[in-house]
Structure formats: C-alpha cells, structure tokens
Structure 1
Amino acid sequence: MKSIIGVSFVILLFAFGCSDDYYADGGVLDDNVGELGVSTMEYLQENAAQFDTLVSLIEICGLEDEVNASGNTFLAPRDYSIHNYFELIFADLDEWPATLNDIDADEMAKISVILQNYILPSQEILREDLTTQYSYATTLTGNSARFNLQQDDYLGNVNQGAQHIVFSLDVSGDSQYQSVTVVSSDLKSTNGVVHVLDSDTHIFGFN
C-alpha cells in the first residue's frame, strides 16, 4: 500500500512540474506579464501547474510573509526541480510520504532553509541592472547569491544567441557557487520581483 501511495505522490509531483511551457531566453513572457498586479504568493498560487508543490511547501514552512515582503526578490524553483529533490532524499519508494504534510519535522526544517535561500530580502534584482560581470546579493539565510548575464551561441556564432540571467548560490559558504538559469525574468509583483528558474537541470536546493 505504501508503494502505491508513493507512486501516486511521484506522479502528482511529476504532473505539476512538467505540464507548463516556458521561455528559455530569460526574458519576460510578454509585455503584459511583466506587471503581475498580484503579490508574489498570489502569482505562484495562480500558476499551480508550475508551482503547486512550491506553494504548499512555503505554506507548511510558514514563509508566506517572507515571500511577500516588500521590495524583495524571489527566485522561483518550479515543481519539477522539487520532484528531483525528493527523488534524492526519498531514494526508496517505500520512504515517500503520502502527502507533503507527512514529511517529518527534521526534513521539513531543511526544506525551510532551502526555501529561504531563494528569497532575497529588501533587494530587487532586475535584468536591466545586470551585466556579464558578477553582482552579489544576500539571501534570507545570509548566504551569498550571485547574478550575471550570459549569452548563448547561435548556429555556431559565439555569443549571438539568447541572453539570460544566471543565478548562483554559495551553498556551503566556501565561495563554491552552484548555478541555475533564469527562464522568465523581471516579473514584477505588487511586493517585489519574481524570476522563474529552469527546472530541466536544476535540483531544488542546488543538490
């Protein structure tokens, strides 16, 4: 029975994480999406196909106010990257919790810290302020975050492709940064800025 429940949990996470389309050029979705007209949490809630699991974890950890704090930046990991994280920590299918609320307190405390590394309090990071040189910010946990613009090659032409934001985090505190590409940038909520992260290569928590 636990295996059936575990499989169901995996399927739900996979469905939420893979059903959306996104733009891989690091730009805003269109001219109207830049100004969201809702808070960061409301934006995440309204886009359940991408962020349903993320929203649930934020709520379980009691971080809604931190995500919605005025003037902050939230780097939004999509559900598929969270699914990949759960595959790492629950390697045995029988260990998968029936629901997110069934994750034990110690593991949820770790998840809370991970979530706080995606929150930059009192700092609005915007694409127009970034260059190919590194810019630095501080996460809610006090870890160092790094941002820069990176341009892809196109049809064999160096640096002629799409330009996107790269978000890097010093997870261990030894200046060994791990990076992820921003796929949708400069989404302006009523309280701050949201950048949506690539989930194809990123694992929640930079694991």
Structure 2
Amino acid sequence: MKNRQISRYISRRGWQALLFFSLLLAIVSCKKDYIKGGSTSNADRFAGATTYEALQQMPQFDTLVQLIDAAGIQDAVNKAGTVFAPSNRSIRDYLEMRTLFLQNNVDQSKFFLLDSLNYYLKNNIQGTKDSLLMYLIADHLTPQDVTLDGTIYPTGLNNDKVLVSFEETKDGNMGYTDLISSVPRILYYAQLWDGQGDPEENKILVKTAFIKTKTGSINALDPGHILFFYGR
C-alpha cells in the first residue's frame, strides 16, 4: 500500500502505532525486507551465505553454532530448506533446567553446563544429537507456502512432525490496531512429536521469519522457547 493510500486511514497518532507495528513484527511482505532487532534489514544480506554461515554471523545464535559443531550436523543444516533456530537464551534456559533437575534428584553439587551438552551431542547420549534435528525441515518455506491453519511437516528427527502456521492476530500486544487496513500475520512453529502432540501446548512464536540464505532460510524462534521443548 502506497503512503498516500495509508494516510487516508491513519492520523498522526496512527502513524506512531504503525511504526510500532512495523518494529514489533518479523513478517515478510512483498518488499525485500525483514525485521531484526527493531530495525529493517535487507533480506538479501545472507543470500550469498549458506545457512550455517549465516547463523555464524548472527550473535544471537553463537551457542547454537557451537551445538551444531559438537553434533557435526553442519551439512544437515545446509541441506535443510528451513531451519527454526533457537537462541542463546533458549539454550541457557535449557541448561539451567537440566541443572535444577540434577540438583533436586541426583546431587546438589551437580551442574549441567554447555560442556556437558556438547559432550551429549558428540556422543548422541540419550539421542541428544538426533533431537537437534527437530529444528530442520526439508522444504524451503516462503510466506506463500504457509497457510493460516498451518501445514504439518516432517523434521530431520526420525518420526517427528511439526505444524507451521502463518496466523492472523488481533492482539494489540502483537501489533494489531484498527488504524491499519490489514490484519497482521505471525509465524508459529508447533512441535507434534510423532503427530500426537498438542499444537497449542507446544506452539512457539517466530520472532524473525523467512531470512533467506543461499541454501534455504532461517526462522528465529522466540527467546522464551526452551531447547528441545524441555519440560513440556
């Protein structure tokens, strides 16, 4: 929609609401932009990099890159059409929850640290390396591919499925306002495990969507997500 058309719907105060909406939501339009960290970025920034190389260039995935290296799945990441990427905070919260479990059930002096997780990944203890593949989808998803109700896709983890949906929202906290003419849409990733899981219970917001790379795309999961859906 051109600026002259928008001005018919929005007052001066409405422009402030629209600006907030634009900064909050990571939704790709027909323009070659995506939203990252509260500012507009060129969607082609990583077009010349593989997905693994792109993750290396984004500080919020520093720890994820370490996990990928420990598991030795760099090639799998680049072969995946779409990667749903957990943030540093997602991994930190996972380590804290694993530590709390150890201290409450095994030994109060025990800690489950990043070195512990890397060891588990390298040796695939308790299927940890395999579990990391739940964030990989073979299909290269674009905004045009994802429906309101969602589509079920198999992940790289054996017998695992996820529901990916591009849902409309009228939540004011998510950027909706009646001062704009269209309802915003938000990408969600829901773990179904073997197809029997509850998508509403295991639904995660995607904070930055459809980041293009040379080999696929990246969707940055909400930092509130805990790695491997631990505790759910």
Q: Please classify the TM superposition score into its range, dividing by the shorter chain length.
A: 0.7 to 0.9
- Cα deviation per residue 1:15-60 (whole Å; 9 max; x = unaligned)? xxxxxxxx6413222361345121111111111x201110001111
Corresponding position of 2:168: 151
Supply the distance in 2 between the matched residues of 1:133 and 1:113 (Cα, whole angstroms).
28
Supply the distance in 2 between the matched residues of 1:150 and 1:39 (Cα, whole angstroms).
28
Q: Find the structure with the greater CA-based Rg.
A: 2
Higher RCO (C-alpha 8 Å, min separation 6): 1
Q: Secondary structure at the match of 1:126?
A: coil
Corresponding position of 2:7: none
Mapping for residues 22-61 of structure 1, pairs under 5 Å: 24-27=24-27, 28-29=34-35, 30=40, 32-34=42-44, 36=46, 37-47=48-58, 49-61=59-71
1:206 is the counterpart of 2:216: no
Task: Tell me the CA shift for residue 113 of structure 1.
Answer: 2.2
- Cα deviation per residue 1:45-76 (whole Å; 9 max; x = unaligned)? 111x201110001111010000011x611111
1:61 touches 1:108 (CA, 8 Å); kept in 2? Answer: no
What root-mean-square deviation, in Å, do the aligned CA atoms of Structure 1 and Structure 2 show? Answer: 2.7
CA change 1:118–1:102 in 2 (3 A) is closer
Instruction: State how many pairs are aligned.
Output: 181
Task: Tell me the CA shift for residue 102 of structure 1.
Answer: 6.1
Task: Tell me the CA shift for residue 107 of structure 1.
Answer: 6.8
Supply the distance in 2 between the matched residues of 1:110 and 1:26 (Cα, whole angstroms).
32
TM-score, with normalisation over the residues of structure 1?
0.75
CA change 1:90–1:31 in 2 (3 A) is closer
Name which of 94, 98, 102 aligns with 2:110.
94
Q: Which amino acid aligns with 2:191?
A: L
Supply the distance in 2 between the matched residues of 1:163 and 1:136 (Cα, whole angstroms).
18
Supply the distance in 1 between the matched residues of 2:63 and 2:84 (Cα, whole angstroms).
15
1:115 is the counterpart of 2:126: no
Supply the distance in 1 between the matched residues of 2:223 and 2:114 (Cα, whole angstroms).
23
Supply the distance in 2 between the matched residues of 1:90 and 1:60 (Cα, whole angstroms).
20
1:85 is the counterpart of 2:94: yes
Corresponding position of 1:4: none
Supply the distance in 2 between the matched residues of 1:34 and 1:205 (Cα, whole angstroms).
29
Supply the distance in 1 between the matched residues of 2:125 and 2:56 (Cα, whole angstroms).
20
Deviates more, 1:97-106 or 1:162-171: 97-106
Deviates more, 1:153-162 or 1:179-188: 153-162
Percent of matched pairs sharing the same residue: 22
Q: Secondary structure at the match of 1:127?
A: coil
TM-score, with normalisation over the residues of structure 2?
0.68
1:189 is the counterpart of 2:207: no
CA change 1:102–1:79 in 2 (3 A) is closer
Corresponding position of 1:8: none
Deviates more, 1:156-165 or 1:83-92: 156-165
